[in-house]
Amino acid sequence: MENSSGLLLVSTENLSGIARLQQKKVSRKLQDHRNEIKPGVKFGKTVIFFFTCAGIGFILYQFHWFDTAENLNSSDEQEEIISFKPIDSVAGKTTPPKLVKQELIVSYPSYTNISSFTASNMNVKAVEGTRLTWKLQFDSAPDSVFMESMGNQYPMNFSNETYTRSSTVTGSGFYNFRFTDEQNASYTSDLFAIEAFEDQSPVIVINDLKQFETYKVDESKDISFETLLTDDFGLGEAYIIATVSKGSGESVKFREEKLSFKESISIGKKRQRLSKTMNLDALKMEAGDELYFYVETLDLKRPTPNKARSETYFAVIQDTATTSFAVEGSMGADLMPEYFRSQRQLIIDTEKLIEERSKLSKEAFNTESNNLGFDQKALRIKYGQFMGDETEGMEAQNTGEGTEHESHDDPLAEYSHDHDGNNEHNLVEVKENHEEEDAKNPLSEYVHNHSDPEESTLFSNSLKSKLRQALNIMWDAELYLRMYEPEKSLAYQYKALALIQEIKNSARIYVHRIGFDPPPIKDDVRLSGDLEEVSSFRKKENLEEQDASNSMRLAIGRLEDLKNNPQTISEEDKKLFENAGDELAVIAINQPGNYLDILQQLKSLTGNLEISEKTLTTVQHGLLKAVGELKPSPAKNIKFSGQLNNMVLEELAKNDE
């Protein structure tokens, strides 16, 4: 472009006349050759190659073809040669046998799918159940070779010029080797650590599943979920434990089933995603039944696999239309009639009418709403019969023409609550008259007054008040249905249904559980036993908490004395340092790497070699770190109190007054 393509990026206002002409010329040429301009690099092949490599990597990751057991059998560990030191200073005069070969064969359990490997480093980290085999070879045969571990001594077997010992890992600890030569001189190696870790239990992760789910009888009852299972060495088995509960009270029955997932589990795979869809109808569940289920999985550990289970999830099919049988006053009576379920049916029909409102014409919608209002009225009248109410229309027969005229003026007078008129809600004066009559009759509170409709029922006072409240709410539900507003009526219908459920639950029968009934006590022989051979026993003992670090604390003080006054370590000192080493080993089992050097140097103090001041200081600092700070022990302080102090306190008290 005549070395002028840079002009295309410069604003026209900043260019001279010739530059503008050149800019237009270059722009025209660029438009003519724009289809011929292509980048020098072919990006198409590069993009295809990139996505091909990414797809292959994703497939290899999903199938875990290159999984490693957390570098457990890594061969790049730093080699550590076993060095032996003489225990006695006299042993240095002879030439001891020299170690020429050392091997540690690590054989993991077969279920881990990890092949055996050989390491030269004697510090090992392995899962519990791993088989360890040590092999030592010397240039000249020692008199005897031992392995010392946690205060125990184990002889090593000699075969084919090699000393061998095998052991199974059951926990963390320390060990070292010891041998004696033909001159009966002893040599010991440094301490090595065995760090054991447990085979972890499988991990179960379930997402997007509610802990508690409720289903209606007429809706789809499917429970679908997905779970992710992981394990460190491989999964063995996975299933679902589902328990169906039927009935209530003492007649409840349970049925447990073991369900499998949709996909079959791949044994030995460390990570797997499984799914399951459970249908409550397929489990033969009915209204009121409950389902409890959880996921359980096992790994491949032998002889006893690790087991893990998820949280328990619940699913319930609603049952709001049940009846119950109650016993009142030693007389059997079915206080909960079959049409108690009608209120629930009214709610279902009202919700259905609201959903179909857009599909119905206005006349059809109003007609259906008015029919539901009639059904609500019929239900209210049936409940009123259990309250001793008479059928409606009695007041209309006793009223005159003025009442009819007023009802024509108010079209809602028949269906609304007139709190200023003479209806069932405004009988205050009548009630007061009844109270005056009852006050004159002393037996009024003990008899059943059948002349009062509020008393002529089998219900107790608490049930009557709830039922009366439900009847009042039904009035409002019917009103809005008659006014063609089912949305507002639905709230009152739910309130009435809740009150009906409370009445049903309060009428249940409770069975008294019979416990132990002791035999009666005979008063003529009570407290008449012979106590001559009965002797009392009293024991008084002061329990003190033992200090788990007592020897280490004493060793710290003794090391300070040896630093200030260098002297030969006595047999008592060796015994003290040995006990301190045992206490430190207990602390160091969980963290072998932190205290391995201190244990080794503390063990060297029990020998007959000369000890440097640097070693004493290092061991002392290590013990101080292991012991830590003392826990506070609250105790009563004994204060000195003398006659002179008491006189001073008395004088101060007088001055204060």
Q: How confident is the model at residue 465 (pLDDT cuts 50, 70, 90)?
A: confident
- Residue 273 pLDDT: 92
More confident residue, 331 or 203: 203
Say if CB 312 and CB 280 are below 8 A apart: no
84 φ, ψ (degrees, to nearest 5): -105, 140
Q: What is the mean pLDDT of residues 397-405?
A: 42
Distances (CA, A) of 199 to 112, 170, 184, 391, 592: 10, 12, 44, 77, 19
**Mean pLDDT, rounded, for 264-286:** 91
SS3 category, 298: strand
> What is the average pLDDT across 340-364?
84
Asked whether residue 211 carries a pLDDT value surpassing 90, the answer given is: no
Which residues does residue 158 pair with via DSSP β-bridges, in sequence order? 163
* Residue 399 pLDDT: 41
Give strand pairing partners of 514. none
Residue 632: CB atoms within 10 Å: 6
Q: What average pLDDT does the segment 307-319 reach?
A: 89
- At residue 403, the pLDDT reads 41
Report the pLDDT value the prediction gives residue 217, as an integer from 0 to 100: 83
In angstroms, the CA 39 to CA 50 distance is 19
Is the pLDDT confidence value at 619 over 50? yes
Of the candidates 288, 362, 278, the residue with the CA atom closest to the CA atom of residue 313:
278
pLDDT (average), residues 548-570: 81
Residue 90 pLDDT > 50: yes
Q: Which of 103-117, 386-400, 516-530, 531-545 has the highest mean pLDDT?
A: 103-117
pLDDT digits (tens, 9 = 90+) for 170-205: 888 888 898 888 878 888 888 888 888 899 999 999
Is the model's pLDDT at 248 over the cut of 90?
no
Alpha carbons within 13 angstroms on the beta-carbon side of residue 445 total 5
Say which range, 3-17, 46-60, 198-212, 420-434, has the weakest mean pLDDT. 420-434
Residue 124 bridge partners (DSSP): 194
Supply the pLDDT for residue 633: 60
Confidence (pLDDT) at 521: 82
Q: Which of 232-236, 270-274, 518-522 has the lowest mean pLDDT?
A: 518-522
pLDDT: is 156 or 27 the higher one?
156
Q: Is residue 503's pLDDT more than 50?
A: yes
Residue 255 pLDDT greater than 50, yes or no: yes
More confidently predicted of 95 and 52? 52
CA-to-CA dists, residue 65 to 62, 192, 650, angstroms: 8, 34, 90
Where is mean pLDDT largest: 31-45, 327-341, 403-417? 31-45
**Mean pLDDT, residues 60-71 taken together:** 57
**Contacting residues for 577 by C-beta, under 8 A, at least 6 apart:** 555, 569, 602, 605, 606
What are the angstrom distances between the C-alpha of 13 and each of 4, 5, 18, 22, 232?
Answer: 17, 17, 13, 14, 70
Using CA atoms, how far apart are residues 602 and 588, in angstroms rounded to an integer? 13
579 vs 278, more confident: 278
Cis peptide bond prior to 202, omega within 30° of 0:
no
Q: pLDDT band for position 41 (50/70/90)?
A: low
Q: How far is CA 504 from the centre of its chain?
A: 36
State the pLDDT at residue 75: 42
* Mean pLDDT to the nearest integer, 28-35: 77
Alpha-carbon distances of 267 from 108, 121, 309, 339, rounded to whole Å: 18, 33, 18, 57
pLDDT band at 298 (very low <50, low <70, confident <90, very high): very high
Between CA 96 and CA 104, with CA 99 as vertex, the angle to 5 degrees is 145
Q: Is residue 188 within 8 Å of residue 149, measured between CB atoms?
A: no
Average pLDDT score over residue span 618-644: 71
In this predicted structure, the answer to whether residue 308 has a pLDDT above a threshold of 90 is yes
CA distance to 255, 344, 639, per residue, from 647 (Å): 84, 89, 16
Q: Among 134-143, 359-368, 390-399, 618-627, whose mean pLDDT is lowest?
A: 390-399
Question: Above 50 in pLDDT, residue 325?
Answer: no
Q: In the prediction, which pLDDT does 564 show?
A: 80
Burial 179-191 (b: 16+ CB within 10 A, else e): bbbeeebbbbbbb
Which band of pLDDT confidence, cut at 50, 70 and 90, is reported for residue 464?
Answer: confident
pLDDT band at 395 (very low <50, low <70, confident <90, very high): very low
Task: Identify the residue with better confidence: 356 or 438.
Answer: 356
The whole-angstrom separation of Cα 351 and Cα 347 is 6
In order of 276, 277, 499, 638, the CA distances from 263 in angstroms are 8, 11, 47, 75
Report the share of the chain in percent with pLDDT over 90.
17
Please tell me the distance from the alpha carbon of residue 603 to that of residue 71, in angstroms, as a whole number: 32
pLDDT at 80: 66
Helix axis angle, 613-627 relative to 571-588, nearest 10°?
Answer: 40
- Portion of the chain with pLDDT greater than 70, in percent: 73
Q: What is the mean pLDDT of the chain?
A: 76
The pLDDT of residue 250 is 60
Dihedral pair phi/psi, residue 446, rounded to 5°? -110, -10
Lowest mean pLDDT of 22-26, 84-88, 191-195, 221-225, name the range: 84-88
Note the pLDDT tens digit of each residue in 409-462.
455 555 555 544 444 444 444 444 444 555 555 545 444 454 555 444 444 556
- The pLDDT-based confidence of 107 (bands split at 50, 70, 90) is very high
The string of pLDDT tens digits covering residues 122-161 is 888 899 999 999 999 888 888 889 998 877 889 999 888 8
Average the pLDDT over 552-579 and give the result. 82
Q: Please state whether the predicted TM-score (pTM) of the whole model is above 0.75.
A: no
Position 440, amino acid: K
Residue 403 and residue 391: Cα distance in Å, rounded?
A: 19
d(CA 99, CA 121): 14
Highest mean pLDDT among 72-81, 83-92, 285-294, 393-402 belongs to 285-294
